[in-house]
Protein backbone atom coordinates (compact mmCIF):
# COMPACT_ATOMS: atom_id res chain seq x y z
CA UNK A 1 0.00 0.00 0.00
CA UNK A 2 1.41 3.44 -0.88
CA UNK A 3 2.48 5.25 2.28
CA UNK A 4 3.09 8.92 3.00
CA UNK A 5 6.20 9.37 0.76
CA UNK A 6 4.57 7.66 -2.20
CA UNK A 7 1.33 9.61 -1.84
CA UNK A 8 3.27 12.87 -1.40
CA UNK A 9 5.30 12.12 -4.54
CA UNK A 10 2.15 11.42 -6.56
CA UNK A 11 0.38 14.52 -5.23
CA UNK A 12 3.33 16.76 -6.10
CA UNK A 13 3.55 15.28 -9.58
CA UNK A 14 -0.16 15.77 -10.16
CA UNK A 15 -0.01 19.33 -8.84
CA UNK A 16 2.63 20.14 -11.47
CA UNK A 17 0.69 18.46 -14.25
CA UNK A 18 -2.97 19.36 -13.68
CA UNK A 19 -3.21 22.42 -11.40
CA UNK A 20 -5.22 25.10 -13.23
CA UNK A 21 -6.73 22.60 -15.65
CA UNK A 22 -10.49 22.18 -16.03
CA UNK A 23 -12.30 18.83 -15.88
CA UNK A 24 -14.51 18.75 -18.97
CA UNK A 25 -16.08 15.35 -18.34
CA UNK A 26 -15.65 12.20 -16.31
CA UNK A 27 -16.23 8.54 -17.07
CA UNK A 28 -16.70 6.12 -14.18
CA UNK A 29 -16.58 2.32 -14.47
CA UNK A 30 -19.30 -0.05 -13.39
CA UNK A 31 -17.51 -1.54 -10.38
CA UNK A 32 -19.08 -0.13 -7.20
CA UNK A 33 -16.18 -0.78 -4.80
CA UNK A 34 -14.03 2.29 -5.64
CA UNK A 35 -16.91 4.74 -5.17
CA UNK A 36 -17.24 5.99 -1.61
CA UNK A 37 -19.52 8.78 -2.86
CA UNK A 38 -22.17 8.04 -5.47
CA UNK A 39 -21.26 8.16 -9.15
CA UNK A 40 -23.81 10.93 -9.68
CA UNK A 41 -22.36 13.02 -6.84
CA UNK A 42 -18.79 12.55 -8.07
CA UNK A 43 -19.71 13.50 -11.64
CA UNK A 44 -21.72 16.54 -10.55
CA UNK A 45 -18.85 17.78 -8.37
CA UNK A 46 -16.02 17.19 -10.83
CA UNK A 47 -17.42 18.10 -14.22
CA UNK A 48 -16.58 21.66 -15.33
CA UNK A 49 -14.59 22.26 -12.13
CA UNK A 50 -11.15 23.84 -12.17
CA UNK A 51 -8.40 22.01 -10.30
CA UNK A 52 -6.96 24.70 -8.03
CA UNK A 53 -4.27 22.45 -6.57
CA UNK A 54 -3.48 18.89 -5.54
CA UNK A 55 -2.09 17.98 -2.12
CA UNK A 56 -1.70 15.14 0.31
CA UNK A 57 -3.59 14.61 3.57
CA UNK A 58 -2.29 11.50 5.31
CA UNK A 59 -2.52 8.73 2.73
CA UNK A 60 -5.19 10.60 0.74
CA UNK A 61 -4.72 12.72 -2.38
CA UNK A 62 -6.96 15.79 -2.25
CA UNK A 63 -7.90 17.79 -5.34
CA UNK A 64 -9.10 21.26 -4.36
CA UNK A 65 -11.75 22.25 -6.89
CA UNK A 66 -13.37 25.52 -7.93
CA UNK A 67 -16.84 25.08 -9.33
CA UNK A 68 -17.91 27.86 -11.65
CA UNK A 69 -21.41 29.17 -11.09
CA UNK A 70 -23.44 31.53 -13.26
CA UNK A 71 -23.58 35.05 -11.81
CA UNK A 72 -22.11 33.92 -8.47
CA UNK A 73 -18.55 33.44 -7.19
CA UNK A 74 -17.02 29.97 -7.64
CA UNK A 75 -17.73 27.45 -4.90
CA UNK A 76 -15.08 25.16 -3.47
CA UNK A 77 -15.19 21.38 -3.24
CA UNK A 78 -12.76 18.49 -2.89
CA UNK A 79 -12.17 15.25 -4.75
CA UNK A 80 -10.52 12.75 -2.41
CA UNK A 81 -8.62 9.72 -3.66
CA UNK A 82 -7.29 6.89 -1.53
CA UNK A 83 -5.07 4.60 -3.58
CA UNK A 84 -5.68 1.48 -1.49
CA UNK A 85 -3.11 -1.22 -2.21
CA UNK A 86 -2.67 -1.02 -5.97
CA UNK A 87 -4.32 2.24 -7.08
CA UNK A 88 -2.66 4.60 -9.56
CA UNK A 89 -3.45 8.11 -10.76
CA UNK A 90 -1.73 8.87 -14.04
CA UNK A 91 -1.84 11.70 -16.56
CA UNK A 92 -2.09 10.24 -20.07
CA UNK A 93 -2.48 11.23 -23.68
CA UNK A 94 -6.04 10.44 -24.86
CA UNK A 95 -4.72 7.90 -27.37
CA UNK A 96 -2.85 5.90 -24.71
CA UNK A 97 -4.16 2.37 -24.22
CA UNK A 98 -6.79 2.17 -21.49
CA UNK A 99 -5.49 -0.35 -18.99
CA UNK A 100 -7.62 -3.11 -17.59
CA UNK A 101 -9.03 -2.15 -14.18
CA UNK A 102 -9.37 1.54 -15.11
CA UNK A 103 -12.22 2.86 -12.97
CA UNK A 104 -12.23 6.59 -13.78
CA UNK A 105 -11.14 8.78 -16.69
CA UNK A 106 -11.20 12.57 -16.40
CA UNK A 107 -10.98 14.48 -19.69
CA UNK A 108 -9.14 17.75 -19.14
CA UNK A 109 -9.36 21.01 -21.06
CA UNK A 110 -5.62 20.75 -21.77
CA UNK A 111 -6.31 17.70 -23.91
CA UNK A 112 -4.82 15.26 -21.41
CA UNK A 113 -6.64 12.60 -19.40
CA UNK A 114 -6.32 11.75 -15.71
CA UNK A 115 -6.97 8.07 -15.09
CA UNK A 116 -7.53 6.06 -11.93
CA UNK A 117 -6.45 2.43 -12.26
CA UNK A 118 -6.79 -0.09 -9.43
CA UNK A 119 -6.57 -3.86 -10.08
CA UNK A 120 -7.54 -4.93 -6.55
CA UNK A 121 -10.24 -2.27 -6.07
CA UNK A 122 -9.27 -1.29 -2.51
CA UNK A 123 -8.86 2.35 -3.55
CA UNK A 124 -11.66 4.81 -2.89
CA UNK A 125 -13.01 7.90 -4.66
CA UNK A 126 -15.16 10.44 -2.87
CA UNK A 127 -16.13 14.11 -2.88
CA UNK A 128 -16.73 16.62 -0.10
CA UNK A 129 -17.38 20.27 0.44
CA UNK A 130 -14.22 22.28 1.01
CA UNK A 131 -13.04 21.89 4.60
CA UNK A 132 -15.30 18.93 5.42
CA UNK A 133 -12.78 16.15 4.86
CA UNK A 134 -10.69 15.06 7.84
CA UNK A 135 -7.94 12.48 7.36
CA UNK A 136 -7.57 12.00 11.13
CA UNK A 137 -4.40 12.01 13.21
CA UNK A 138 -1.58 14.54 12.92
CA UNK A 139 0.94 15.03 10.14
CA UNK A 140 4.19 13.36 11.29
CA UNK A 141 6.33 15.86 9.37
CA UNK A 142 4.67 18.68 11.30
CA UNK A 143 4.47 17.04 14.74
CA UNK A 144 6.32 18.63 17.67
CA UNK A 145 7.78 16.55 20.48
CA UNK A 146 5.17 17.41 23.13
CA UNK A 147 2.31 16.42 20.83
CA UNK A 148 4.08 13.23 19.76
CA UNK A 149 4.81 12.20 23.35
CA UNK A 150 1.20 12.89 24.35
CA UNK A 151 -0.05 10.65 21.54
CA UNK A 152 2.29 7.72 22.23
CA UNK A 153 3.05 7.71 25.94
CA UNK A 154 0.83 5.57 28.14
CA UNK A 155 -0.30 3.27 25.33
CA UNK A 156 0.00 -0.43 26.08
CA UNK A 157 0.22 -1.44 22.43
CA UNK A 158 3.53 -2.23 20.69
CA UNK A 159 5.22 0.93 19.46
CA UNK A 160 4.98 -0.38 15.88
CA UNK A 161 1.18 -0.57 16.22
CA UNK A 162 1.07 2.97 17.60
CA UNK A 163 3.04 4.30 14.62
CA UNK A 164 0.65 2.57 12.21
CA UNK A 165 -2.46 3.92 13.94
CA UNK A 166 -3.81 6.47 11.46
CA UNK A 167 -5.89 8.06 14.22
CA UNK A 168 -2.58 9.11 15.83
CA UNK A 169 -0.25 9.76 12.88
CA UNK A 170 -1.32 10.31 9.28
CA UNK A 171 0.39 8.32 6.58
CA UNK A 172 3.08 6.31 8.38
CA UNK A 173 2.91 2.74 7.12
CA UNK A 174 4.73 -0.55 7.50
CA UNK A 175 7.91 0.25 5.59
CA UNK A 176 8.63 3.59 7.22
CA UNK A 177 7.67 2.46 10.72
CA UNK A 178 10.27 -0.33 10.48
CA UNK A 179 12.94 1.98 9.10
CA UNK A 180 12.26 4.68 11.72
CA UNK A 181 12.35 2.23 14.63
CA UNK A 182 15.68 0.86 13.41
CA UNK A 183 17.26 4.31 13.29
CA UNK A 184 15.90 5.08 16.75
CA UNK A 185 17.19 1.76 18.16
CA UNK A 186 13.74 0.63 19.36
CA UNK A 187 12.28 -2.84 18.82
CA UNK A 188 8.89 -2.86 17.07
CA UNK A 189 7.24 -5.09 19.69
CA UNK A 190 8.28 -2.92 22.63
CA UNK A 191 5.32 -1.53 24.57
CA UNK A 192 4.86 2.16 23.82
CA UNK A 193 4.38 3.02 27.51
CA UNK A 194 7.92 1.83 28.36
CA UNK A 195 9.65 4.24 25.97
CA UNK A 196 11.20 7.31 27.57
CA UNK A 197 10.73 10.88 26.41
CA UNK A 198 14.33 10.98 25.16
CA UNK A 199 13.77 7.82 23.15
CA UNK A 200 10.53 9.20 21.73
CA UNK A 201 12.40 12.35 20.78
CA UNK A 202 14.91 10.26 18.86
CA UNK A 203 12.08 8.29 17.26
CA UNK A 204 10.30 11.43 16.09
CA UNK A 205 13.53 12.71 14.52
CA UNK A 206 13.97 9.32 12.83
CA UNK A 207 10.41 9.30 11.49
CA UNK A 208 10.86 12.73 9.95
CA UNK A 209 14.27 11.88 8.49
CA UNK A 210 13.06 8.64 6.93
CA UNK A 211 9.96 10.22 5.43
CA UNK A 212 11.88 13.21 4.04
CA UNK A 213 14.57 10.97 2.53
CA UNK A 214 11.94 8.72 0.98
CA UNK A 215 10.08 11.69 -0.52
CA UNK A 216 13.34 12.97 -2.02
CA UNK A 217 13.83 9.58 -3.72
CA UNK A 218 10.25 9.32 -4.97
CA UNK A 219 9.11 6.70 -2.46
CA UNK A 220 9.63 2.93 -2.39
CA UNK A 221 8.61 0.78 -5.37
CA UNK A 222 8.04 -2.63 -3.79
CA UNK A 223 5.12 -3.89 -5.86
CA UNK A 224 2.81 -1.79 -8.03
CA UNK A 225 3.73 1.74 -7.01
CA UNK A 226 4.61 4.31 -9.67
CA UNK A 227 4.26 8.07 -9.57
CA UNK A 228 1.96 10.30 -11.65
CA UNK A 229 4.33 9.98 -14.61
CA UNK A 230 4.53 6.19 -14.36
CA UNK A 231 8.03 6.26 -12.84
CA UNK A 232 9.22 4.04 -9.98
CA UNK A 233 10.70 5.31 -6.73
CA UNK A 234 14.16 4.50 -5.41
CA UNK A 235 14.01 4.54 -1.60
CA UNK A 236 13.74 0.73 -1.54
CA UNK A 237 17.46 0.77 -2.36
CA UNK A 238 18.05 2.53 0.99
CA UNK A 239 16.04 0.15 3.20
CA UNK A 240 18.08 -0.90 6.22
CA UNK A 241 15.71 -3.51 7.67
CA UNK A 242 12.43 -3.70 5.74
CA UNK A 243 12.37 -6.75 3.45
CA UNK A 244 15.88 -7.82 4.55
CA UNK A 245 15.00 -10.84 6.71
CA UNK A 246 18.07 -13.03 7.24
CA UNK A 247 20.44 -10.51 5.67
CA UNK A 248 23.20 -8.98 7.83
CA UNK A 249 22.47 -5.72 9.63
CA UNK A 250 24.26 -2.89 7.89
CA UNK A 251 25.59 -1.71 11.26
CA UNK A 252 26.48 -4.83 13.27
CA UNK A 253 26.13 -7.73 10.77
CA UNK A 254 23.55 -9.53 12.94
CA UNK A 255 20.89 -11.20 10.73
CA UNK A 256 17.73 -9.12 10.41
CA UNK A 257 14.69 -10.76 12.01
CA UNK A 258 11.10 -10.74 10.83
CA UNK A 259 8.14 -11.02 13.19
CA UNK A 260 4.41 -10.44 12.79
CA UNK A 261 2.64 -7.74 14.81
CA UNK A 262 -1.12 -7.38 14.39
CA UNK A 263 -0.93 -9.24 11.11
CA UNK A 264 1.84 -7.04 9.68
CA UNK A 265 5.42 -8.08 8.95
CA UNK A 266 7.97 -6.24 11.06
CA UNK A 267 11.71 -6.26 10.45
CA UNK A 268 14.38 -5.35 13.03
CA UNK A 269 17.93 -5.96 14.19
CA UNK A 270 17.93 -7.90 17.49
CA UNK A 271 21.26 -6.33 18.51
CA UNK A 272 20.85 -2.68 17.46
CA UNK A 273 17.24 -2.36 18.64
CA UNK A 274 16.27 -2.72 22.30
177-229 pLDDT, tens digit each:
999 999 999 999 999 999 999 999 999 999 999 999 899 887 775 555 555 66
pLDDT at 3: 86
Q: Confidence class of residue 245 from pLDDT cuts 50, 70 and 90?
A: very high
Closest by CA to 240, choosing from 152, 147, 192, 178, is 178
Q: Confidence class of residue 162 from pLDDT cuts 50, 70 and 90?
A: very high
Q: Which positions ≥6 away from 186 have C-beta within 8 Å?
A: 159, 195, 199, 203, 273, 274
Lowest mean pLDDT among 55-64, 68-77, 87-96, 207-216: 68-77
Closest by CA to 74, choosing from 82, 84, 64, is 64
Residue 221 vs residue 231, higher pLDDT: 231
Q: Please provide the CATH number assigned to the domain covering 4-129.
A: 3.20.190.10
The verdict on whether 3 is a catalytic residue reads yes
Of 3, 6, 113, 179, which is the active-site residue? 3
DSSP string spanning the chain? Answer: ---HHHHHHHHHHHHHHHTT-BEEEEEE-S-STTBSS-HHHHHHHHTTEEEEEEEEETTEEEEEEEEEETTEEEEEEEEEEE-TTT-EEEEE-TTS---TTEEEEEEETTS-EEEEE-TT---EEEEEETTT----SB-TTT--HHHHHHHHTT--SBHHHHHH-TTTBSS--HHHHHHHHHHHT--TTSBGGG--HHHHHHHHHHHHHHHHHHHHTT---SSS---TTS----GGGG-SSTT-TTSBPTTT-PBPEEEEETTEEEEE-TTT--
Torsion-angle region of 2 (φ positive above 0: left; ψ -120 to 50: alpha; else: beta): beta
Instruction: Answer whether residue 258 shows pLDDT above 60.
Output: yes
The verdict on whether 264 is a catalytic residue reads yes
CB 98 within 8 A of CB 115: yes
The verdict on whether 189 is a catalytic residue reads no
Q: Hey, do 4-129 and 145-268 end up sharing a CATH topology, with the first three levels equal?
A: no
Of 2, 34, 140, 158, which is the active-site residue? 2
CB 149 within 8 A of CB 142: no
* Correct CATH for 145-268 of 3.30.450.20, 1.10.8.50, 1.10.10.10, 2.60.40.1930: 1.10.8.50
The verdict on whether 255 is a catalytic residue reads no
Of 5, 8, 56, 59, which is the active-site residue? 59
pLDDT at 237: 66
pLDDT in tens, 101-127: 999 999 999 999 999 999 999 999 999
Residue range 153-168: mean pLDDT, rounded: 94
Instruction: Answer whether residue 70 shows pLDDT above 90.
Output: no
Domain boundaries, the chain: 4-129, 145-268
Lowest mean pLDDT among 69-78, 136-145, 194-203: 69-78
Question: In 10 A of CB 203, how many CB atoms?
Answer: 22
Instruction: Answer whether residue 91 shows pLDDT above 90.
Output: yes
pLDDT at 100: 93
Lowest mean pLDDT among 18-27, 62-71, 115-124, 181-190: 62-71
pLDDT at 234: 55
Portion of the chain with pLDDT greater than 70, in percent: 91
CA–CA gap between residue 171 and residue 210 (Å, rounded): 13
Q: What's the N-to-C CA distance of the chain in angstroms? A: 28
CA–CA gap between residue 154 and residue 220 (Å, rounded): 32
pLDDT at 61: 96
pLDDT at 164: 95
CA–CA gap between residue 91 and residue 13 (Å, rounded): 10
CA–CA gap between residue 168 and residue 3 (Å, rounded): 15
Sheet bearing 102-108, strands edge to edge: 23-28, 102-108, 113-117, 88-92
pLDDT at 238: 78
Amino acid sequence: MPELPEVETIARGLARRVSGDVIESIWLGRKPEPLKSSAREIAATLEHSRIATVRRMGKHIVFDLEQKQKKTPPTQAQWIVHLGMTGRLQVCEPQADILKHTHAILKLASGMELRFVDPRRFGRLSVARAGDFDAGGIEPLEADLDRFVALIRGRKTPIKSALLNQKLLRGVGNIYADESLFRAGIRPRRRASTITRDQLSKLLVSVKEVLQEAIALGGSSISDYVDADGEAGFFQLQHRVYGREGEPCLVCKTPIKRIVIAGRSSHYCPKCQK
